[in-house]
């Protein structure tokens, strides 16, 4: 007996499909798909959430000094003339950052291996490339989903049957995060 469903696809197509569906599920919270696909997606998504729950508190806060460009009232960088050249003025600022422990860093890289990068476009600026933002789903897993599911022992997703699809009578389901 096979350890997974083949979904009538080659290995590369199947992996790409599952990665895309898992990324969509974790970004939006729910997706509509066929029952067979949902059962495969559930395995991967629950594994990622379990990994995030396991490593959620495995970091230390570190204070570091960084150089930040000084900006004027309009938000533009302040420049000074030094030896006939315009040079940006920098200020030293202390910032607190989260430094991942090695096991959390490994977990983050395992998640990045599975998830696609997501670009989010605000609705008011649709069609404009400069307003797009890259969403970090690994941070969302660690900061949103891990605390939410910390007291659960698995079972992070739910499959709700919707009915038969009109074209080919495949069972459609709603796969959602609990």
119: CB partners within 8 A, 6+ apart: 132, 133, 134, 135
Q: Which residues pair with 92 in a beta bridge?
A: 67
Segment 54-78, tens digit of pLDDT: 999 999 999 999 999 999 988 899 9
Distance CA 48, CA 18 (A): 13
Segment 37-59, tens digit of pLDDT: 999 999 999 999 999 999 999 99
Please, is 33 exposed, middle or buried when counting C-beta atoms within 10 Å of its C-beta (0-12, 13-18, 19+)?
buried
Domain 11-58+101-177: give its CATH code. 3.90.1030.10
What are the sequence ranges of the domains in the chain? 11-58+101-177, 59-100
Beta strands in the chain (DSSP E): 30-34, 59-69, 79-82, 85-88, 90-100, 118-120, 133-135, 157-164, 171-177
What are the pLDDT tens digits along the chain (178 aa)? 678 999 999 999 999 999 999 999 999 999 999 999 999 999 999 999 999 999 999 999 999 999 999 999 888 999 999 888 999 999 999 999 999 999 999 999 999 999 999 998 877 766 667 778 899 999 999 999 999 999 999 999 999 999 999 999 999 999 999 9
């Amino acid at each position: 007996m096979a350890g997974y469903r083949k979904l009538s696809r080659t290995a590369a197509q199947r992996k790409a499909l599952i990665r895309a569906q898992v990324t969509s599920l974790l970004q939006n919270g729910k997706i509509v798909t066929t029952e067979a696909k949902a059962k495969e997606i559930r395995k991967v998504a629950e594994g990622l959430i379990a990994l995030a729950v396991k490593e959620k508190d495995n970091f230390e806060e570190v204070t570091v000094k960084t150089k930040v460009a000084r900006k004027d009232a309009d938000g533009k960088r302040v420049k000074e003339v030094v030896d006939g050249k315009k040079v940006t003025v920098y200020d030293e600022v202390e910032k607190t950052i989260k430094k991942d422990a090695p096991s959390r860093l490994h977990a983050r890289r395992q998640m990045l291996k599975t998830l696609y990068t997501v670009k989010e476009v605000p609705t008011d600026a649709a069609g404009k490339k400069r307003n797009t933002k890259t969403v970090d789903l690994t941070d969302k897993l660690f900061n949103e989903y891990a605390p939410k599911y910390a007291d659960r022992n698995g079972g992070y997703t739910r499959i709700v049957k919707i009915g038969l699809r009109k074209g080919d009578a495949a069972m459609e389901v709603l796969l959602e995060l609990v």
